[in-house]
Homo-oligomer: A and B are copies of this chain.
Amino acid sequence: MAKEKRTAIEPTREQDYPEWYQQVIKAADLAENSPVRGCMVIKPWGYSLWENMQAGLDKMFKDTGHTNAYFPLFIPVSYLEKEAEHVEGFAKECAVVTHSRLELGSDGRLVPASPLEEPLIVRPTSETIIGEMYSRWVQSYRDLPVLINQWANVVRWEMRTRLFLRTAEFLWQEGHTAHATKGEAEEETLKMLRVYETFAQDFMAMPVVCGRKTEGEKFPGAVDTYCIEAMMQDRKALQAGTSHFLGQNFSKASNIKYLSEAGTQEYAWTTSWGVSTRLIGGMVMTHSDDDGLVLPPRLAPLHVVVLPVIHKDCERSNVLEYCAKLKSKIESASYCGVPVRVSVDSRDLRGGEKVWSWIKKGVPLRVEVGPRDIASGSLFVARRDTGEKKSMPCAEFIENIGALLQSIQENLFLRAKKYRDENTVEMRSKEDFYAYFTPKNAKKPEIHGGFAVANYDGSAEVEDALRADLRVTVRCIPLDGGEPDGNCIFTGRPAKYRAIFAKSY
């Protein structure tokens, strides 16, 4: 029998990418489905990632002048009705609260009672309720800009859900700003897009394309929607964050008016921007491998796990004591301005099982220490990203730990960027384009295509055809993508854009 390469995750990415994704999450204990339809439970390891994301983003929001606030979970249905496109976008899938009490029914079961005068929906996004508050707060140009962010849960009643990527309830942040001029609001929209880009690249080690959405793909009620798009390892695109220039649509719907310096009444210009727990799904799919989760050090709940190697009972106390001291040395080192996060795993488990549990959890560095290492003053160090393992002097490890973590962070980014760039192809004809997105191997219908860059006339008819024929959409018109250099490859008409097309989550 030929020796097979064994992997901790089954199936592998190659065998069944969607199932691999679920198994990576399960093996890392990040999250699981709850008995409540479409709602997930984010488990401690997954929630820690979110806390680290929140900390990074929150600091960037505050550094750009924003403060946090909190607005109601519920939105009266009449508010949703104020903006026509907005209703269209959100009324189809929302949780509707109709009663304020339960009482015992005739069959002894609880039934809804005390109907509300006006039904409420659980916020799918908060433009309308926040707009209402801003209309009360903003009177004069002196009250502008309003620069507020909210960390919150939101609900969209999705029919097909997938952990992190698409769930009925998810956690997110939504920035909502109001400005005196169109120019300022546009500047804000792009500034926050670039904040997301920086966060994705520097913290998540996830390369992204910054771009603008087409009419068909923009946020319901927005004038312009900008996005960051990332490529997953099945070469599909993931929209990882959006920033909307709302023009005066919502300020007119909510009556956000101000007295200008010139003494005239003007409508404010507003923006909104958000990222969600979806980012965790993106991070999983960008870096993980067939052995499980791979975490970028800047977001890893633990940077280092120390694994005591104990063969005989008499060694135990010595090794554990040494590991405890090692832990304090490690946490006195720092990485990116925070103390290195380290834990000693002294559980009574078989060595192999213990090592694999941390591999599957994606901890960037594993350190094994046994009596012989203690005697020689060395450590056995393993990198999660490359799998590289080597023995090194303890002092050298402590001294280089920040550099080592940074090298992992950079390697992950470069590896993902290389993968994306290799799978981004310039398309010169409709035929090539269709061939690119058509599976060559019926057994692996998921793995094909990538990002296709093409000259495009901007028409909705092309978008509709691509969606119907190939399930491909325009992901964005890249901000740094240059001008079209030929006619539209689909229609032959003059091209308006050089756009990126892909299948997507």
B100 touches A98 (CB 8 A): no
Q: State the copy count for this chain.
A: 2
- The proximity string for A residues 35-58 relative to B, scoring 1 for CB distances below 8 Å and 0 otherwise, is 110011111101110110000000
A72 within 8 A of B: yes
Residues of B within 8 A of A42 (CB): 69-70
Q: Is A17 an interface residue (CB 8 A)?
A: no
User: A259 on the interface (CB 8 Å rule)?
Assistant: no
Task: Find out whether the CB atom of A73 lies under 8 angstroms from the CB atom of B110.
Answer: no
A165 interface residue (CB < 8 Å to B): no
The answer for the CA separation of A488 and B69 in the assembled complex, in Å, is 49
Closest to A110 in B: B77
Rounded to whole angstroms, the CA-CA distance of A311 and B48 in the bound complex is 52
Q: Which residues of B contact A111 (CB under 8 A)?
A: 119
B96 touches A98 (CB 8 A): yes
How distant is the Cα of A41 from the Cα of B122 in the complex, in angstroms?
15
Interface residue ranges, A against B (CB under 8 Å): 34-36, 39-44, 46-48, 50-51, 67-77, 80-81, 87, 91-103, 109-112, 119-122, 129, 132-133, 148, 152-153, 155, 157, 169, 171
Are A100 and B94 also in contact (CB < 8 A) when A48-B67, A72-B34 are? Answer: yes
B residues less than 8 Å from A40 (CB atoms)? 72
Whether B94 and A96, one on each chain, are in contact in the complex, defined by CB atoms closer than 8 angstroms, is no
- Given A47-B69, A48-B68, A99-B98: A133 and B41 interface contact (C-beta under 8 Å): yes
Least Cβ distance of A334 to chain B in Å?
Answer: 16
Contact between B68 and A44, CB atoms less than 8 A apart: yes
Give Cα distance in the complex from A446 to B43, angstroms.
Answer: 47
Min Cβ gap A400→B in Å is 28
Top 9 closest pairs, chain A to chain B, by CB? A39-B72, A44-B67, A96-B99, A91-B102, A42-B70, A36-B72, A100-B157, A96-B112, A98-B98
Inter-chain contact B93/A101, CB cutoff 8 Å: yes
**Pick from B39, B69, B95, B152: contact of A100, CB under 8 Å:** B95
Question: Nearest Cβ distance between residue A95 and chain B, in whole angstroms?
Answer: 5
Residues of B with C-beta under 8 A to A48: 67-68
A-B CB contact pairs (8 Å), 19 listed: A34-B129, A36-B75, A39-B72, A41-B70, A44-B69, A47-B67, A51-B68, A74-B95, A77-B102, A77-B109, A81-B110, A87-B110, A92-B101, A95-B97, A96-B102, A96-B112, A98-B98, A100-B157, A102-B119
> What residues on B are CB-neighbors of A93 within 8 Å?
100-101
- Cα distance A72–B35 in the bound complex, in angstroms: 9
Q: Known: A80-B102, A98-B98. Contact between A36 and B91, CB under 8 A?
A: no
Residues of B within 8 A of A68 (CB): 44, 47-48, 51
- A41-B72, A95-B97, A111-B119 are known contacts; what are 12 more A-B pairs with Cβ within 8 Å? A36-B74, A36-B129, A39-B73, A41-B70, A77-B102, A81-B109, A93-B101, A94-B102, A96-B97, A96-B98, A98-B99, A102-B121
Residues of B within 8 A of A39 (CB): 72-74
Q: Please measure, in the bound complex, the distance between the C-alpha atom of A91 and the C-alpha atom of B113, giving whole angstroms.
A: 10
Residues of B within 8 A of A69 (CB): 41-44, 46-47
Q: How far is the CA of A389 from the CA of B171 in the complex (A)?
A: 46
